[in-house]
Amino acid sequence: MKNWTRAAVAALIMGTAAPAMAEECIAPANPGGGWDFTCRQIGRIMTDLGLVPNMVQVTNVTGAGGGVAFAQVVADRNEDPTVFVAASSATTTRLAENAFAGATADQVRWVGAIGGDPGVIVVGKDSEYQSLTDLIDAVKADPNAVAFAGGSAVGGFDHLKVLMMLDKAGFGDARAVKYIGLDGGADAITQTVGGFAQAMTGDLSEITGFIKSGDVRALAVLSDERIEGFEDVPTAKEQGVDITAMNWRGIYVPKGISDEDYDKWVDWLKQVGESEQWQQTMVENGLAPYNVYGADFEAFVAENVAEIQEIAKEIGLLQ
Protein backbone atom coordinates (compact mmCIF):
# COMPACT_ATOMS: atom_id res chain seq x y z
CA MET A 1 0.00 0.00 0.00
CA LYS A 2 2.81 2.34 0.98
CA ASN A 3 4.66 1.64 -2.29
CA TRP A 4 1.50 2.17 -4.31
CA THR A 5 0.89 5.46 -2.54
CA ARG A 6 4.39 6.68 -3.23
CA ALA A 7 4.11 5.70 -6.88
CA ALA A 8 0.74 7.40 -7.18
CA VAL A 9 2.01 10.57 -5.56
CA ALA A 10 5.10 10.58 -7.78
CA ALA A 11 2.95 10.14 -10.87
CA LEU A 12 0.65 12.91 -9.73
CA ILE A 13 3.57 15.27 -9.11
CA MET A 14 5.12 14.49 -12.48
CA GLY A 15 1.80 14.97 -14.23
CA THR A 16 1.10 18.34 -12.66
CA ALA A 17 4.62 19.74 -12.47
CA ALA A 18 5.57 19.26 -16.11
CA PRO A 19 3.97 22.11 -18.11
CA ALA A 20 2.96 21.61 -21.71
CA MET A 21 5.80 22.55 -24.02
CA ALA A 22 5.23 25.90 -25.65
CA GLU A 23 5.24 26.02 -29.42
CA GLU A 24 7.97 28.21 -30.88
CA CYS A 25 8.12 30.09 -34.15
CA ILE A 26 11.53 30.98 -35.53
CA ALA A 27 11.63 34.22 -37.53
CA PRO A 28 14.86 34.12 -39.59
CA ALA A 29 15.39 37.90 -39.45
CA ASN A 30 15.29 40.86 -37.09
CA PRO A 31 12.01 42.04 -35.49
CA GLY A 32 9.86 44.18 -37.74
CA GLY A 33 10.28 42.36 -41.06
CA GLY A 34 8.07 39.98 -43.01
CA TRP A 35 9.17 36.74 -41.35
CA ASP A 36 8.73 38.30 -37.92
CA PHE A 37 5.26 39.45 -38.99
CA THR A 38 4.41 35.91 -40.11
CA CYS A 39 5.49 34.37 -36.81
CA ARG A 40 3.72 36.89 -34.62
CA GLN A 41 0.44 36.87 -36.53
CA ILE A 42 0.21 33.09 -36.91
CA GLY A 43 1.26 32.61 -33.28
CA ARG A 44 -1.29 35.13 -32.02
CA ILE A 45 -4.14 33.59 -33.99
CA MET A 46 -3.20 30.04 -32.93
CA THR A 47 -3.53 31.20 -29.34
CA ASP A 48 -6.78 33.08 -30.04
CA LEU A 49 -8.29 29.96 -31.64
CA GLY A 50 -7.23 27.78 -28.70
CA LEU A 51 -5.06 25.56 -30.91
CA VAL A 52 -2.11 25.87 -28.50
CA PRO A 53 -2.29 25.99 -24.69
CA ASN A 54 0.37 28.68 -24.29
CA MET A 55 1.46 31.81 -26.10
CA VAL A 56 3.65 30.94 -29.08
CA GLN A 57 7.23 32.00 -28.42
CA VAL A 58 8.84 33.98 -31.25
CA THR A 59 12.60 33.66 -31.62
CA ASN A 60 14.50 35.86 -34.07
CA VAL A 61 17.45 34.00 -35.60
CA THR A 62 19.23 36.26 -38.07
CA GLY A 63 21.92 35.60 -40.63
CA ALA A 64 22.57 34.48 -44.20
CA GLY A 65 19.13 35.56 -45.43
CA GLY A 66 17.43 32.80 -43.46
CA GLY A 67 20.27 30.30 -43.79
CA VAL A 68 21.32 30.33 -40.13
CA ALA A 69 17.80 29.47 -38.97
CA PHE A 70 17.46 26.77 -41.64
CA ALA A 71 20.76 25.17 -40.62
CA GLN A 72 19.85 25.25 -36.92
CA VAL A 73 16.56 23.48 -37.50
CA VAL A 74 18.12 20.83 -39.74
CA ALA A 75 21.11 20.15 -37.48
CA ASP A 76 19.77 20.68 -33.97
CA ARG A 77 15.99 20.38 -34.01
CA ASN A 78 15.26 17.85 -36.72
CA GLU A 79 12.82 15.87 -34.56
CA ASP A 80 11.31 18.75 -32.54
CA PRO A 81 7.51 18.76 -33.02
CA THR A 82 7.06 22.10 -31.21
CA VAL A 83 8.99 24.37 -33.57
CA PHE A 84 7.90 25.93 -36.84
CA VAL A 85 9.69 28.46 -39.03
CA ALA A 86 8.39 31.44 -40.99
CA ALA A 87 9.12 31.10 -44.69
CA SER A 88 8.41 32.91 -47.93
CA SER A 89 9.51 33.18 -51.53
CA ALA A 90 12.76 34.58 -50.13
CA THR A 91 13.43 31.19 -48.51
CA THR A 92 12.98 29.17 -51.67
CA THR A 93 14.96 31.74 -53.65
CA ARG A 94 17.99 31.26 -51.40
CA LEU A 95 17.63 27.48 -51.53
CA ALA A 96 17.28 27.55 -55.31
CA GLU A 97 20.49 29.54 -55.63
CA ASN A 98 22.41 27.21 -53.30
CA ALA A 99 22.94 30.13 -50.91
CA PHE A 100 22.52 28.00 -47.77
CA ALA A 101 25.87 26.20 -48.12
CA GLY A 102 24.53 23.11 -49.81
CA ALA A 103 21.19 22.95 -47.98
CA THR A 104 18.22 21.79 -50.03
CA ALA A 105 14.47 22.25 -49.76
CA ASP A 106 13.87 18.56 -49.02
CA GLN A 107 15.72 18.80 -45.68
CA VAL A 108 12.56 20.18 -44.03
CA ARG A 109 8.80 19.64 -44.41
CA TRP A 110 6.77 22.42 -45.97
CA VAL A 111 3.45 22.96 -44.18
CA GLY A 112 1.66 25.60 -46.19
CA ALA A 113 1.15 29.18 -47.32
CA ILE A 114 -1.76 31.32 -46.14
CA GLY A 115 -1.23 34.62 -47.88
CA GLY A 116 0.46 36.35 -50.74
CA ASP A 117 2.45 39.47 -50.02
CA PRO A 118 2.68 41.70 -53.11
CA GLY A 119 6.06 43.19 -53.86
CA VAL A 120 6.31 46.95 -53.65
CA ILE A 121 8.81 49.64 -54.66
CA VAL A 122 9.01 52.62 -52.30
CA VAL A 123 11.13 55.78 -51.97
CA GLY A 124 11.66 58.26 -49.15
CA LYS A 125 8.94 60.85 -48.62
CA ASP A 126 11.15 63.63 -50.03
CA SER A 127 12.48 61.63 -52.97
CA GLU A 128 12.74 63.31 -56.36
CA TYR A 129 11.21 60.22 -57.99
CA GLN A 130 7.45 60.63 -58.39
CA SER A 131 6.71 57.49 -60.40
CA LEU A 132 8.19 54.10 -61.21
CA THR A 133 9.05 55.46 -64.65
CA ASP A 134 11.11 58.25 -63.05
CA LEU A 135 13.05 55.71 -60.98
CA ILE A 136 13.70 53.35 -63.87
CA ASP A 137 14.79 56.20 -66.13
CA ALA A 138 17.30 57.26 -63.46
CA VAL A 139 18.77 53.75 -63.34
CA LYS A 140 19.06 53.65 -67.12
CA ALA A 141 20.78 57.04 -67.14
CA ASP A 142 23.26 56.16 -64.37
CA PRO A 143 22.99 52.83 -62.48
CA ASN A 144 25.39 54.13 -59.83
CA ALA A 145 22.99 56.93 -58.90
CA VAL A 146 20.29 54.60 -57.55
CA ALA A 147 20.82 52.06 -54.76
CA PHE A 148 17.99 49.70 -53.87
CA ALA A 149 17.75 48.38 -50.30
CA GLY A 150 16.08 45.05 -49.63
CA GLY A 151 15.43 42.71 -46.74
CA SER A 152 17.10 39.71 -48.35
CA ALA A 153 20.71 39.02 -49.19
CA VAL A 154 22.26 39.65 -52.59
CA GLY A 155 20.60 37.19 -54.97
CA GLY A 156 17.57 36.87 -52.68
CA PHE A 157 13.95 37.45 -53.62
CA ASP A 158 14.00 41.20 -52.98
CA HIS A 159 17.07 41.49 -55.21
CA LEU A 160 15.46 39.33 -57.89
CA LYS A 161 12.35 41.54 -57.88
CA VAL A 162 14.45 44.60 -58.77
CA LEU A 163 16.41 42.75 -61.45
CA MET A 164 13.27 41.26 -63.03
CA MET A 165 11.50 44.62 -62.92
CA LEU A 166 14.40 46.42 -64.63
CA ASP A 167 14.80 43.60 -67.14
CA LYS A 168 11.12 43.95 -68.07
CA ALA A 169 11.68 47.70 -68.43
CA GLY A 170 14.53 47.17 -70.89
CA PHE A 171 17.57 47.38 -68.61
CA GLY A 172 19.25 43.98 -68.65
CA ASP A 173 22.63 44.64 -67.05
CA ALA A 174 21.95 42.86 -63.75
CA ARG A 175 25.50 43.29 -62.47
CA ALA A 176 25.34 47.09 -62.81
CA VAL A 177 22.33 47.43 -60.49
CA LYS A 178 23.24 48.65 -57.00
CA TYR A 179 21.56 46.56 -54.31
CA ILE A 180 22.06 46.66 -50.52
CA GLY A 181 21.08 43.32 -48.97
CA LEU A 182 20.03 43.51 -45.31
CA ASP A 183 18.69 41.19 -42.61
CA GLY A 184 14.99 41.91 -42.89
CA GLY A 185 12.64 44.55 -44.23
CA ALA A 186 12.87 46.78 -41.15
CA ASP A 187 16.58 47.39 -41.76
CA ALA A 188 15.94 48.10 -45.44
CA ILE A 189 13.25 50.65 -44.58
CA THR A 190 15.66 52.38 -42.18
CA GLN A 191 18.22 52.70 -44.97
CA THR A 192 15.65 54.26 -47.26
CA VAL A 193 14.08 56.61 -44.71
CA GLY A 194 17.59 57.71 -43.71
CA GLY A 195 18.55 58.46 -47.30
CA PHE A 196 21.27 55.79 -47.53
CA ALA A 197 19.34 54.09 -50.34
CA GLN A 198 17.31 55.82 -53.03
CA ALA A 199 14.63 53.13 -53.13
CA MET A 200 13.52 50.00 -51.35
CA THR A 201 12.11 46.74 -52.60
CA GLY A 202 10.11 44.69 -50.15
CA ASP A 203 6.68 43.30 -49.42
CA LEU A 204 3.60 45.36 -48.72
CA SER A 205 2.98 43.90 -45.24
CA GLU A 206 6.38 44.96 -43.90
CA ILE A 207 6.08 48.50 -45.26
CA THR A 208 2.40 49.18 -44.52
CA GLY A 209 3.02 51.27 -41.39
CA PHE A 210 5.66 53.40 -43.08
CA ILE A 211 3.40 54.07 -46.07
CA LYS A 212 0.49 55.05 -43.82
CA SER A 213 2.72 57.27 -41.67
CA GLY A 214 4.07 59.03 -44.75
CA ASP A 215 7.72 58.15 -44.09
CA VAL A 216 7.92 56.53 -47.53
CA ARG A 217 5.98 56.81 -50.78
CA ALA A 218 4.98 53.71 -52.71
CA LEU A 219 5.72 54.06 -56.42
CA ALA A 220 4.34 50.69 -57.48
CA VAL A 221 2.88 47.44 -56.23
CA LEU A 222 4.03 44.35 -58.13
CA SER A 223 0.63 42.67 -58.42
CA ASP A 224 -1.87 42.10 -61.20
CA GLU A 225 -4.36 44.54 -59.67
CA ARG A 226 -4.34 47.28 -57.04
CA ILE A 227 -4.55 46.00 -53.47
CA GLU A 228 -7.58 46.51 -51.22
CA GLY A 229 -6.78 49.20 -48.69
CA PHE A 230 -4.00 50.61 -50.91
CA GLU A 231 -6.04 51.61 -53.93
CA ASP A 232 -3.98 54.77 -54.46
CA VAL A 233 -0.81 52.75 -55.18
CA PRO A 234 -0.61 51.92 -58.92
CA THR A 235 0.64 48.60 -60.19
CA ALA A 236 3.88 48.34 -62.16
CA LYS A 237 1.80 47.01 -65.05
CA GLU A 238 -0.21 50.25 -65.14
CA GLN A 239 3.10 52.07 -65.58
CA GLY A 240 4.22 49.91 -68.48
CA VAL A 241 6.33 47.32 -66.63
CA ASP A 242 4.82 43.84 -67.02
CA ILE A 243 5.84 42.20 -63.75
CA THR A 244 4.04 40.39 -60.95
CA ALA A 245 6.04 39.41 -57.87
CA MET A 246 3.99 37.83 -55.09
CA ASN A 247 5.83 36.71 -51.98
CA TRP A 248 3.92 33.81 -50.43
CA ARG A 249 3.95 33.67 -46.63
CA GLY A 250 3.95 30.31 -44.88
CA ILE A 251 5.85 27.94 -42.63
CA TYR A 252 8.03 24.84 -42.58
CA VAL A 253 8.78 22.34 -39.81
CA PRO A 254 11.62 19.88 -39.13
CA LYS A 255 11.80 16.90 -41.47
CA GLY A 256 12.25 14.34 -38.69
CA ILE A 257 8.89 14.85 -36.98
CA SER A 258 6.17 12.21 -37.30
CA ASP A 259 3.52 12.25 -40.01
CA GLU A 260 0.97 12.75 -37.24
CA ASP A 261 2.74 15.89 -36.02
CA TYR A 262 3.14 17.16 -39.57
CA ASP A 263 -0.58 16.67 -40.25
CA LYS A 264 -1.32 18.55 -37.02
CA TRP A 265 0.67 21.56 -38.24
CA VAL A 266 -1.12 21.45 -41.60
CA ASP A 267 -4.51 21.38 -39.85
CA TRP A 268 -3.56 24.23 -37.50
CA LEU A 269 -2.32 26.40 -40.35
CA LYS A 270 -5.53 25.75 -42.30
CA GLN A 271 -7.57 26.86 -39.31
CA VAL A 272 -5.49 30.03 -39.02
CA GLY A 273 -5.82 30.71 -42.75
CA GLU A 274 -9.61 30.32 -42.65
CA SER A 275 -10.09 32.39 -39.48
CA GLU A 276 -11.77 35.79 -39.34
CA GLN A 277 -8.68 37.09 -37.54
CA TRP A 278 -6.44 36.21 -40.47
CA GLN A 279 -8.86 37.68 -43.01
CA GLN A 280 -8.75 40.96 -41.09
CA THR A 281 -4.94 40.79 -40.82
CA MET A 282 -4.68 40.39 -44.61
CA VAL A 283 -6.82 43.47 -45.27
CA GLU A 284 -4.93 45.56 -42.71
CA ASN A 285 -1.53 44.59 -44.13
CA GLY A 286 -2.15 44.43 -47.87
CA LEU A 287 -2.00 40.64 -48.22
CA ALA A 288 -3.83 38.74 -50.93
CA PRO A 289 -5.42 35.28 -50.46
CA TYR A 290 -2.90 32.56 -51.26
CA ASN A 291 -3.70 29.22 -49.61
CA VAL A 292 -1.77 26.03 -50.35
CA TYR A 293 -1.30 23.23 -47.79
CA GLY A 294 0.34 19.89 -47.13
CA ALA A 295 1.35 17.73 -50.08
CA ASP A 296 0.15 20.37 -52.55
CA PHE A 297 2.44 22.91 -50.91
CA GLU A 298 5.43 20.56 -50.91
CA ALA A 299 4.92 20.07 -54.66
CA PHE A 300 4.54 23.83 -55.10
CA VAL A 301 7.84 24.49 -53.30
CA ALA A 302 9.69 22.01 -55.52
CA GLU A 303 8.27 23.73 -58.62
CA ASN A 304 9.03 27.17 -57.17
CA VAL A 305 12.68 26.25 -56.60
CA ALA A 306 13.02 24.98 -60.18
CA GLU A 307 11.37 28.14 -61.55
CA ILE A 308 13.65 30.46 -59.57
CA GLN A 309 16.71 28.56 -60.78
CA GLU A 310 15.63 29.21 -64.36
CA ILE A 311 15.13 32.94 -63.68
CA ALA A 312 18.49 33.18 -61.90
CA LYS A 313 20.20 31.57 -64.88
CA GLU A 314 18.50 33.98 -67.27
CA ILE A 315 19.79 37.03 -65.41
CA GLY A 316 23.25 35.60 -64.81
CA LEU A 317 23.08 34.75 -61.10
CA LEU A 318 23.49 31.02 -61.72
CA GLN A 319 25.55 29.23 -64.31
User: What is the reported pLDDT for 18?
Assistant: 40
Strand pairing category for 108-124 and 83-88: unpaired
pLDDT at 203: 87
Q: Residue 144: how many CB atoms within 10 A of its CB?
A: 9
**Number of Cβ within a 10 Å radius of residue 138:** 16
* Full pLDDT tens readout for the chain, 319 residues: 444 444 444 444 344 444 457 899 999 999 988 899 999 999 999 999 999 999 999 999 999 889 999 999 999 999 999 999 999 998 998 899 888 989 999 999 999 999 998 999 999 999 999 999 999 999 999 999 999 999 887 888 899 899 989 989 999 888 899 999 988 888 899 999 999 999 999 988 888 889 999 999 999 999 888 988 899 999 999 999 999 888 899 999 999 999 999 999 999 999 999 999 999 999 888 888 889 999 999 999 998 898 888 878 877 777 7
What is the DSSP annotation of 113-158?
EEEEEEEEEEEETT-S--SHHHHHHHHHH-GGG-EEEESS-TTSHH
What is the value of pTM for the model shown? 0.74
SS3 12: helix
| pLDDT computed for residue 1 by the predictor | 42
Q: DSSP H helical segments within the chain, as ranges?
A: 2-17, 34-48, 67-76, 89-96, 132-141, 157-168, 185-193, 204-213, 259-274, 276-285, 294-314
For residue 44, the model assigns a pLDDT of 97
Q: Please check whether residue 61 is in contact with residue 72, taking contact to mean a CB–CB distance below 8 angstroms.
A: yes
Rounded Cα distance, 6 and 101, in Å: 53
